[in-house]
Amino acid sequence: MTIQVGDRVPSTMLTKVTAEGPEQVSSEDYFKGRRVALFSVPGAFTPTCSARHLPGFVEKAGDIKGKGVDEIACTAVNDAFVMGAWGKGAEVDGKVTMLADGNGDFAKAVGLTMDGSKFGMGTRGQRYSMVVNDGVVEQLNVEEPGAFNVSSADYMIERL
């Protein structure tokens, strides 16, 4: 079942990319007591994700945080080292936290997986964005397959 606005984010483990290396964090702890803008991409270094999705949130980080968001995070079904390298290459510089969902546990728990097998990618997370306020989904924007509209930073800003 797909997560909905008003639902609590399920408890799974994610890996936060830090300057000191990968850090395991439970989703429950990560979202507790703050408002987080989270966006999911099918994969690090993939065309739309690298050219538009991540850069949009990096460029608009100040605008998003100015609307009462404490942190912006990007998740993908990739390992922490790939997410770290992608974040470094994209110059996220503390504007976006990279959260690895290496086994896809978070994507499965929120019911937002996709089958990328025909592209050699296996099971991945769908492209979406959400605002999580103290562990509860406040806004959810799930893309149609192949689209990039409602999960963008600009779309989120319009709705904050």
Which residues are known catalytic residues?
49
Bridge pairing between strands 35-40 and 71-76: parallel
Nearest to 152 by CA among 78, 58, 26, 14: 58
Could you give the C-alpha distances from 93 to 18, 61, 79, 98, in angstroms and in order? 11, 11, 19, 11
Contact, 35 vs 131, CB < 8 A? Answer: yes
